[in-house]
Amino acid sequence: MAFQTLHCEDAGAVRRIIINRPDKLNALNRQTLADLHQAFDQAAADDTVRVIVLSGAGGKAFVAGADISELAELSPIEARELSRFGQRLMRKIETLGKPVIAEVAGFCLGGGMELAMACHLRLASRKAKFGQPEVNLGVIPGFGGTQRLLRLTSRAAALELCLLGEQIDAERAYQLGIINAVFEPEQLAEEVQKRAEHMAALAPQALRGVIEAITVGAESALDVGLEFETQAFAVAFSTEDMREGTQAFLARRPAEFKGR
């Protein structure tokens, strides 16, 4: 379906969700958040979609932050509800069960960085810029920035980025473990598509199991995470894809996973 602030397109089993507000550097307003909620719900429910790529239109920004013109008018109660609405979106992406790749070109700031951190992989242009600049507006990150930064990198780095409110380049973000890889700008889309197509050819239930096990493990004691992994490992043995994968390996042929 058509969205006010997004453009979606499919290439095989890969769906691209493109935030389409280039005149606003793809800033997240309430309508964009609502559209993203719906777009990810649709991708989750569509069995033909195995991998999602999230990007921003225009080449200047992935998402440059929240829409400040909306933020400036919020009451404390409205700000709380917006934070919860944004956090539900980030959690939805994080627990979607299908791999989501953030293709980061240009500015990735504030709500944009929070959106990227909710994705499972973050691949960036060498020209990308990252930051949590909310303190410069007299507020703090509201869509999970303090918590996901702490989990992706270190307490020291999370405090540095959130307290100083300064931008860092892609190489520093890579060194801190915030992003997975850095590419030349002209190579980024091709490299993202290559990884998306690779994952789209794998067994969907196995990918879901990995996402769920790592998500649970990141938020649990080790013994809890290990038991979840054991159960997910056992469930994988009930799938047709597991039989196909092992038989294909033994026969030295490519596996053809059906998602069953």
Structure tokens at 2: 């058509």
Q: Mind giving me the DSSP string for the chain?
A: ---SSEEEEEETTEEEEEE--GGGTT-B-HHHHHHHHHHHHHHHH-TT--EEEEEETTSSEEE--B-HHHHTT--HHHHHHHHHHHHHHHHHHHTSSS-EEEEE-SEEETHHHHHHHHSSEEEEETT-EEE--GGGGT----SSHHHHHHHHS-HHHHHHHHHH---EEHHHHHHTTSSSEEE-GGGHHHHHHHHHHHHHTS-HHHHHHHHHHHHHHHTS-HHHHHHHHHHHHHHHTTSHHHHHHHHHHHHTS-------
* Catalytic sites, residue numbers: 114, 134
d(CA 210, CA 232): 8
**Chain CA centroid to CA 184, Å:** 20
Q: Which amino acid is at 225?
A: G
Count other C-beta atoms under 10 Å from residue 33's C-beta: 22
Residues in the chain: 260
Structure tokens at 54: 């999230």
